[in-house]
Amino acid sequence: MSEPDDVIAKLFDQTRLVGRFRRRSAVDVIVTWDDVRAVEPLARAVVELRDDHVQRKALDRLGQLTEQTAVDVVCEVWADTRHPLLDALIREKGWLAAYQENVRILGLLARGEAESLMGVNRDGAAFLVAAASDRDPHLAEAAARVLTQLQRADAVDALVEMALEHDDLRALQAIRDGGYSVADPSVSAVLLILTQQLTAYEAHDPTGAHLADALQSAPLPRRHQLALKAREHRLAPWAYALRRLPPGEILPVEWDCLLTVLLSHGSYEDIWRWSVRASVPVALGYVRALVAADWSPALNAPDARLFRKLAGLQERCEGEPDASGERIIASNIFEGSPGHATLLAVSSNWHFMAVGGDHEAVRVFSLPDGEPVASLDGLPGWTRAVAFGGMGRLLAIATMNNRTRVHRIPDGEIVASLETPDVSVIAMRGDGRLLAASCGARIDLWDVERERIVHAIGNQGRTVKRIEMGPRGRALAAWGSDGVTRVWSLPDGALLTAFDGAEGGLAALAFNADETQLAISDRGGILRVYSLPSCELLCEVSTETKAIRSLAFRPDGDVIAVGGHDHFVRLVALPEGELLGQVDGYAGASVLQWNSLGQLLTGAVEGNRTARIWFPALPPLTALAVQHARADEIAWAQRRHQDPQLPRQDRTWLTAWGTLVMALRGALPRKEEPVQSETGTSF
């Protein structure tokens, strides 16, 4: 230990009897130092030590400071501690930090000079949002007041970004109280609803056209939030906006809220029109609501007979349609050669799939048809990891030469090039602005647009083996060679929680849709689901899957898919842990991912190197609108309906489904017509 370090250690010596003597001797030495290294220990001594002599000596020396660098150190310690002695010193000297913007902002707020902050930039606005929740109520109030008077457009943009991407309530309140407007009409529609400026929203978007544009690209949690707001306030334009979406893309919560909104406005004709666009369970629920409201089409209306038939069927349809394993069929969408399919990534919107491997190219395909979209050739090395971001608009590729490039899709233009030494795994946030790269014993968080590291997260000196970014981009989980699973918040990189890893080594990680649960699996096939951030064990399941490689929560969080080396992907109900069924796969399912409709994709990196989609043989019964039913599904349903062993409940559901299909299409195809499935074999 160097002499200065030894003196500083004595300054904080808490040993009984001799400690007091050492502290006072040390402070007498430190106050003679004439450089900035004395400032931090003296400021800490004022805060941490209960020794009047030491505090007085330290304050006297700090009061003699003239260099701005030293003043900034004192201000920084004050910002962290708010100690009254430092506060009094700073006020007496009129000091203000110059080099750290967040500390300078706190200082101006504390001095009562909030008006000078109205011209802050976007970073300053973010600091003010944080200060609006400060533990000092006067300072928090001043920050909130400034947020309503921002003068720069980029500062307002920062508020909008925090409100939309991070659901920050303080930012939302500032947008509302400041009366800020946004140029993009679709963004403005969302903000007006979230800030409960409902009269202004209905005037801004009476037909729901702007909101419809926003819904098409909005993340699932945002759509869920808007649906609840629409139901609470009975927003008719929101219902109009849903008309512009394909019925198969409407979320379950949106169907529920839509019925409430339409009923509140007495829009029974609209409820009936929606009924024949929805999936069977939703359609029958809508018909049930119309029956309860004592409404039906006019007797001479062309659809009156259909309504009466569905009204009779809805009473006999109990529970949910069966979704057992026997109703799952598969479709191959990619087949590669050895070395050409060792890595696979799927965009969160399910538009694209990227395939890389032991060669200097990555190929991008469209989903679900598997058509080629782009070939990114001439990479600087073999591919080590691939990850999508920006709702499929960006693709990050980590290569063996310690570089990670971010390409725009589909044109393949390089938009960022990052230096990532020893990179093994990468993950990209949904908006494409943040990229996590595991580099040996640490994880670097990159600002993609600025091509710089914003945080370097240590992993206790152990090699990072796996990382997983949450669907909302607010959390990052990692498992390292020390056997501990850690979870950090994003984008600040603060550690949220840590808990011991699975026995025998962790195999896979997965967040649920809202990042409130984390699933981990070990090499022995044990699946555990924990709540976050409490780390409470919610369930533990023996999946019978050896060497698990991948996990994926279904969007509703009720089912998790487990894939590994034993040629099966198993579907497990949560939290009971019941095995719902399994689909016949192949060894090496390295990627499992659900789309919003509950269809499951898996990618294999070994054996025949293929990617495959599994989906229910009758998706219209559970997720899709009836007009999306394919000829092979219709023929399958006809054969199932004639099966004498078919349970009565299943027959009732199939009857309801067939009734809706006939209503839309006029007739079903004849049974004798040969029908080919997507896998190329007849049913």
What integer pLDDT is reported at residue 630 of this predicted model? 64
Judge whether residue 239 has pLDDT over 90.
Answer: yes
Lowest-confidence range among 63-77, 85-99, 597-611?
597-611
146-165, pLDDT tens digit by residue? 999 999 999 998 898 888 87
In this prediction, residues 405-410 reach a mean pLDDT of: 92
| Percent of the chain at pLDDT exceeding 90 | 29
List the structure tokens of 637: 């349903």
Averaged pLDDT for residues 308-322: 76
Residue 124 contacts residue 139 (beta carbons within 8 Å): no
Q: Which amino acid is at 651?
A: R
Do residues 155 and 127 lie in contact, with contact meaning Cβ atoms separated by under 8 Å?
A: no
Q: For the residues 252-258, what does the mean pLDDT come to?
A: 92
Which whole number is the average pLDDT over 562-583?
79
Would the pLDDT of 378 be above 90? Answer: no
pLDDT at 90 over 90: yes
Looking at per-residue pLDDT, the higher value among 496 and 237 belongs to 237
Return the pLDDT at 597.
55
Sorting pLDDT into bands at 50, 70 and 90, what band is 321?
low
pLDDT (average), residues 263-278: 90
Q: Look at 175 and 616; give whichever has higher pLDDT.
A: 175
- How would you class 581 by CB atoms within 10 Å of its CB: exposed for 0-12, middle for 13-18, buried for 19 or more? middle
19-23, 243-247, 445-449, 576-580: range with highest mean pLDDT: 445-449
Say yes or no to pLDDT of 460 above 60. Answer: no
For the cut 80, the answer to whether the pLDDT of residue 101 exceeds it is yes
Evaluate whether 293 touches 680 at the Cβ level (below 8 Å). Answer: no
- Say whether pLDDT at 328 is over 70: no
Rounded mean pLDDT of 197-224? 90
pLDDT score of 339: 59
For the chain, give the mean pLDDT: 82
* Exposure class string for 152-163: b at 16+ Cβ within 10 A, else e: eeebbbbbbbbb
**Coil, helix or strand for 208?**
coil
pLDDT, residue 237, reads 95
Asked whether the predicted pLDDT for residue 391 surpasses 50, the reply is yes
- Which residue has better confidence, 531 or 565? 531
Give percent of the chain above pLDDT 70. 86
Answer whether 456's CB lies under 8 Å from 447's CB. no
Is residue 262 predicted with pLDDT exceeding 90? yes
pLDDT of residue 294: 93
The DSSP secondary structure of 500-541, one letter per residue, reads: E--TT-EEEEEE-TTSSEEEEEETTSEEEEEETTT--EEEEE
Q: Which of 71-75, 197-201, 653-657, 668-672 has the lowest mean pLDDT?
A: 668-672
Once rounded to an integer, what is the mean pLDDT over residues 598-626?
63
Q: Please give the average per-residue pLDDT across 56-65, as a whole number.
A: 92
pLDDT at 624 over 80: no
Measured between alpha carbons, how far is 238 from 234 in angstroms, rounded to an integer?
Answer: 9
- Highest mean pLDDT of the ranges 170-184, 254-268, 622-636, 661-675: 254-268
Question: Which position has the higher pLDDT, 596 or 361?
Answer: 361
In this prediction, residues 606-627 reach a mean pLDDT of 60
